[in-house]
Structure 1
Amino acid sequence: MKVDIYSKPSCSLCDEAIDVVERVRARIPFELRIISILEDPAAMMAWRYDIPVVVMDGEPAFKHRVDEAAFEARLRRG
């Protein structure tokens, strides 16, 4: 599974989401990209009011906060 996190620097919610995703990644391997909306104009237009956004295999799965158990369950479902 591919997981993308749309975030920006100095965003405490983004840092929390990344921490949650990395904890799960330590147990279940998956491909992870962290994308700064400041460096991607299309992402800025799409997500600027919703970061962090966790996208799993191309589908937005979590916005603002990531529940660790729900994220892990979704990974296991594939």
Structure 2
Amino acid sequence: MAEHVPNPHPADAVPRVRMLGRPGCHLCDDARAVIARVAADLGVQWEEQSVLDDPALLEQYGEQIPVTFVDGRQHDYWRVDEARLRAALQA
């Protein structure tokens, strides 16, 4: 389950934020809401991928979901702190 959010800034075609999650995960629902809000406020693109779609991701991150990445580097897991995410995206 990959979700691609439209990017209002075509020059920034690569999503800056990536979230690994799983259907039915309440922490993923919470993280998704924070990421969507911050991404919309800052005009950045983000995407979501289910760990169930990739056995290697499930093995590596299955116990940490949701896992967020900013600019390709792991940023957080289990919870997304809105202020911390904003700071990382504005750095």
**TM-score, structure 1 length as denominator?**
0.93
Question: Within 1, Cα distance between the matches of 2:32 and 2:23?
Answer: 12
Mapping for residues 1-78 of structure 1, pairs under 5 Å: 2-77=16-91
**What percentage of residue pairs aligned between the two structures are identical?**
36
Shift of residue 61, structure 1, vs aligned partner: 0.2
Give CA deviations for 1:44-77 in whole Å, capped at 9, x if unaligned.
Answer: 1110000000011111001000010111011000
Q: Amino acid of the residue matched to residue 11 of structure 1? A: C
Query: Would you identify which runs of 4 or more consecutive aligned residues in structure 1 move more than 3 Å?
Result: none
Please state which structure has a larger fraction of its residues in helix.
Answer: 1
Answer with 1 or 2: which has the greater Rg. Answer: 2
Higher relative contact order (CA 8 A, sep 6+): 1
Q: Deviations over 1:9-31 (max 9, x none)?
A: 00000000000001111210222
TM-score by length of structure 2 reads 0.80
Give ranges in structure 2 of 5+ residues lacking alignment.
Answer: 1-14
Aligned-partner Cα distance in 2 for 1:33–1:43: 15
Unaligned runs of 5+ in 1: none
